[in-house]
Amino acid sequence: MSDVRIDDLPVRDELRGKSPYGAPQLDVPVRLNTNENPYPLPEPLVERIAERVREAARTLNRYPDRDAVELRTRLAEYLTDTSGHEVGVANVWAANGSNEVLQQLLQTFGGPGRTAIGFEPSYSMHALISRGTGTGWISGPRNEDFTIDLAAAEKAIAENQPDVVFITTPNNPTGTAVPPETVLALYEAAQAAKPSMVVVDEAYIEFSHGDSLLPLLQGRPNLVVSRTMSKAFGAAGLRLGYLAAHPAVVDAVQLVRLPYHLSAVTQATALAALEHTGTLLGYVEQLKAERDRLVTELLALGYEVTASDANFVQFGRFEDSHETWRKILDRGVLVRDNGVPGWLRVTAGTPEENDAFLDAVRELKKEQST
Ligand SMILES: *Cc1c(COP(=O)(O)O)cnc(C)c1O
């Protein structure tokens, strides 16, 4: 039966000929391509996870808490403590990675006959999850320097009247932060076109020079802020994402979530991690310093760099970015080619990993000048 291919099956038309999402998972000494936190979880936290999971194991014959109330309560406390904006359990919803949160939002507010817009280049999963949920995708514009072109964005919203607007801040893959004034203006534009949901993807907010946009939720029921434990918390393997919004939004996503979607093991592990936010956010400070060092050294080497508020740096420019990606890989360092012409993206790793990366790109410069 190996002669049967995807397109021989009766798959949906919009999936035909498409490729799945996926960064290459290559076995290379230095992997700086998926914006993971390079530091493993601290040993006391590993112990605590084992304890809490053992406890959860004793009741695995039962379904987990469908509403994940304890976890959402702790997440709400974390958001309140770090933003100064009061967030309660009714404002928070959690799922298996923020990708599942985004999927639930699109199943609820997008879907067949509806559209979503994002300002590209941005996180490619916004377009892919739109496609997977049957939501039409509109690619909005950005300026040359990768900031959002407000006038053009407002025009695109007015013309297309999307049902969902994605704003990623700090943006991936460029690292660009979006100022609160711009988010407010886009929210107003979206509501003027027709009532629509504005989703602010703050996957990297803990690494930002600026503050979270959580305070903007006040009085704006059509605004959603999505977050993840995959990046700053150093727990990409856990698969835990969450959102903060008006309680009505949390009620609405209940209509599409699968029953018991968040396993008892996941809830126990995330709860253990939330007991250690102090240590985990300590690593964030180190990574921000390393991010800033990458920017300084890349500029000193004569590369162009996009201002970054995330745990990665977009650098260029290259006539053939894929060729440069390959040359860096030949030197044992895996960075990311996001398909943005002329640019590549490197994740801030440990100081040693970053040194290995900087050595590799220094050699490339030397090679060019000889
Ligand atoms: C990495 C990333 C996420 C995280 O997805 P998870 O499913 O939580 O791992 C979400 N949004 C953006 C912009 C990202 O880069």
More confident residue, 21 or 88: 88
Is the model's pTM score more than 0.85? yes
Q: CA torsion 176→180→185→186, rounded to 10°?
A: 50
**Of the residues 210, 241, 276, which one is the last residue of a structural domain?**
276
**At which of 249, 276, 303 does a domain end?**
276
Position 48 in a domain: no
Residues 176 and 221 in one domain: yes
Q: pLDDT at residue 1 above 60?
A: no
User: In this structure, are 186 and 167 located in the same domain?
Assistant: yes
Residue 314 lies in a domain: yes
Q: How many domains does the chain have?
A: 2
Residue ending a domain, among 276, 296, 318, is 276
pLDDT of residue 25: 80
Answer yes or no: do 121 and 195 share one domain: yes
Same domain membership, residue 137 and residue 24? no
Tell me how far the alpha carbon of residue 4 lies from the centroid of ligand 1, in angstroms: 33
pLDDT tens profile 356-367: 999 999 999 998
Query: Are 69 and 155 part of one and the same domain?
Result: yes
For atom 7 of ligand 1, which residue has the closest CA? 97
pLDDT of amino acid 24: 75
Ligand 1 centroid to residue 94 C-alpha, Å: 14
Indicate whether 198 and 115 sit together in one domain.
yes
* pLDDT of 15: 87
- Sequence-distant (≥ 6) Cβ neighbours of residue 196 within 8 angstroms: 109, 161, 162, 163, 164, 165, 190, 222
CB distance 97 to ligand 1 below 6 Å: yes
Give the domain CATH number at 157: 3.40.640.10
Residue 16 sits in which domain range?
Answer: 6-42+278-369
Residue 271 reports pLDDT greater than 70: yes
Sheet-wide strand order for 343-347: 304-305, 312-316, 343-347
